[in-house]
A and B are shown apart, each in its own frame.
Chain A
Amino acid sequence: MNAGTRTKHMASLRRNLLGMLTEIAFACGLIGAAFLVSWLFFVGR
């Protein structure tokens, strides 16, 4: 594997990892929003 291919490979890996983290962050955000909804229901009763 030459330097160019290795750089390309690393860039692809970084993109994949960032993509995975973005997806996980979105799922955590949705779960957080749902917690906020349940908390608001209790505060507002």
Chain B
Amino acid sequence: MVRRVWREDFRIIGYYTGLVTIGVGLLMLVPMVTSLVFREWASALDFAISAALTLLVGYVLALVSHTKNTPGLTHAMVIAAGSWLVAMVLSGVPYLLSGHAASFLDACFDTMSGYTTTGLFLLQDLDHISQGLNMWRHLLTYVGGQGIVVLALTFLIGSTGGAFKIMVGEGKEEKLEPNVRHIAILIWRISLIYLGVGTVVLGVIAMANGIKPYLALFHGAYIFMSAWSTGGFAPYSQNMLYYHSSAMEIASMVFFILGSFNFALHYAVWSGNRREILRNVEIVSFTITVLTTFSLVCLALMQRGVYPNAVALFRRGFFQLISGHTTTGQSNIYAQTFVLEWGPLGMLATTIAMAIGASAASTGGGFKGLRMGIIVKGIATDIRKLLSPERAVVTGHYHHLHDNILSDGVVKGAAVIVVLYVLIYVVGAVVGMAYGYPMVNALFESVSAGSNTGLSCGITQASMPTLLKIVYILEMWMGRLEFLSVFTMFGFIATSFRSMRLRKVVA
């Protein structure tokens, strides 16, 4: 039986969503300062207006619905899903004011792409946007990777009751520490240490490639934020191709492979359990699927004779494949190269890699290696059961931080989420095909959006059909939050209407 919805439920949801919105408003001060440093007065004004508006909305929401009650599981799910929508709309204001977004829908597309660490973009004349807007794009991706709710939890939400549930709603369900605030701080600590290391490494490489020192540091920070968060944005429209640097590509690859790891794995390895990296089911599954799908890409590219030697094949082929598999979306080839040179097999192998994606509770998207590992182990256990004597008790195990028993419930839970992902991939592909795009291209782009990857074969551009933009936004949102919180939000809205009708009937 579904419970009724009361006014207090709205207050709890409104209050916490308001706090997250205030967090987003405060975040806008970073690109504003960047614009001031670069003397981009118009851009600084855009961010000042946007920050004021966002802070006002957040403050009013928190004030009007102020409550001391902590959220339950339903509230938490609705807050997580709703906060991302509110953040998408308000974060789109600077894009619109900059004049680089053709419409507010395009601006929302880009902010959702940023927050969900997808990396698809509709912004026009990307090569001439302000440093402030560039900082904002990459900051969205960096914060989105850690989770905007995690950000708010760290700095704004003092109480820990119910806070962990909001994090679960955002797809970060690993409980590393008993205190949720400590988990959020831990996630930020790991990310910020890597931010320092990554910015210096990538900045030095950019400098060695002839970019001015102060600008090289910004480029280093942008590329790191994009790589670590498995986002895929880059300051220029040519993405990684702009740098023509294998050192930059390899350094970026290292950071997005690390970014695709589960935060619980980072925590275990950083706490001294270094063997975990070789034993963890997600990493084993990830390594196998990366090498398998890369072999398919090699086969496709060798058949077509696209690259003249092993170095070129590795540099282009592996970069694209691992970028897809970690759901990063950085690219060192042109979008059309997939269609014109890689062909159906190459595109399909990359599509499979994107669909599988990164690790659970990481910055990445897709089914996740954990679920792939669990399902494969579940199938293997079932086969072993069939081959064993009838009286034999066969139990499966998988190693994720510690040895776990593979129950039917765990396998079923993983399979349900995988089916839901396949469903959104197919829906997006069908809508693309309805607009006349070839099946392989439509599937590639849909999986890229749904798995929060961001590789494009050329469909995503400002002139694409409006409905397709909306479908991709929904795919990005659902894919990032792993469905549960989104479905709970829809259920909550439906229940609210029913409760209102019931109250009218009683009155």
Which residues of A pack against B, CB within 8 Å? 15-16, 18-20, 22-24, 26-28, 30-31, 33-35, 37-39, 41-43, 45
Interchain Cβ contacts under 8 Å between A and B, 16 examples: A19-B266, A23-B261, A28-B254, A31-B250, A31-B253, A33-B287, A33-B291, A34-B290, A34-B314, A39-B314, A41-B295, A41-B298, A41-B302, A41-B313, A42-B302, A42-B310
> In the bound complex, do residue B257 and residue A37 qualify as a contact, i.e. CB atoms below 8 Å apart?
no
Given A18-B274, A24-B254, A42-B309 in contact, is the A30-B317 Cβ separation under 8 Å?
A: no
Q: Which residues of B contact A28 (CB under 8 A)?
A: 254
Interface of A is mostly: helix
Distance, CA A41 to CA B254, complexed state (A): 23
> In the bound complex, do residue A38 and residue B298 qualify as a contact, i.e. CB atoms below 8 Å apart?
yes
Distance, CA A32 to CA B129, complexed state (A): 37
- B: contact size bracket: 20 to 34
Smallest beta-carbon distance A30→chain B, Å: 6
> In the bound complex, do residue A39 and residue B310 qualify as a contact, i.e. CB atoms below 8 Å apart?
yes
Q: Which residues of B contact A19 (CB under 8 A)?
A: 266, 269-272, 274
Q: Which residues of A contact B22 (CB under 8 A)?
A: none
**B156 at the A interface (CB under 8 A):** no
Smallest beta-carbon distance A44→chain B, Å: 9
Given A24-B254, A30-B290, A31-B250 in contact, is the A15-B318 Cβ separation under 8 Å?
A: no
Given A38-B318, A41-B298, A42-B309 in contact, is the A27-B274 Cβ separation under 8 Å?
A: no
CB contacts under 8 Å to A, within B285-336, are 287, 290-291, 294-295, 298-299, 302, 309-310, 313-314, 317-318, 321-322
Distance, CA A33 to CA B108, complexed state (A): 40
Q: Which residues of A contact B258 (CB under 8 A)?
A: 23-24, 27
Number of cross-chain contacts by CB at 8 Å: 83
> In the bound complex, do residue A20 and residue B313 qualify as a contact, i.e. CB atoms below 8 Å apart?
no
Smallest beta-carbon distance A11→chain B, Å: 9
Distance, CA A22 to CA B279, complexed state (A): 13
* Nearest chain A residue, comparing its CB with the CB of B313: A38
Smallest beta-carbon distance A7→chain B, Å: 15
> In the bound complex, do residue B270 and residue A20 qualify as a contact, i.e. CB atoms below 8 Å apart?
yes
Distance, CA A26 to CA B266, complexed state (A): 12
Picked from A18, A23, A30, A45, the residue with its CB within 8 Å of the CB of B266 is A23
Distance, CA A27 to CA B271, complexed state (A): 19
Distance, CA A45 to CA B310, complexed state (A): 11
Distance, CA A24 to CA B197, complexed state (A): 12
Smallest beta-carbon distance A40→chain B, Å: 9
Smallest beta-carbon distance A27→chain B, Å: 4
**B426 at the A interface (CB under 8 A):** no
* Interface bits B266-286 vs A (CB < 8 Å: 1, else 0): 100111101001100001000
**B507 at the A interface (CB under 8 A):** no
**10 closest cross-chain pairs (CB), A and B:** A19-B270, A38-B314, A27-B257, A42-B310, A19-B269, A41-B298, A39-B310, A27-B254, A38-B313, A34-B318
Q: Which residues of A contact B383 (CB under 8 A)?
A: none
Distance, CA A33 to CA B253, complexed state (A): 14
Instruction: Pick from A15, A26, A45 the residue with the most CB of B within 10 Å.
Output: A26
**B193 at the A interface (CB under 8 A):** yes
Distance, CA A42 to CA B295, complexed state (A): 12
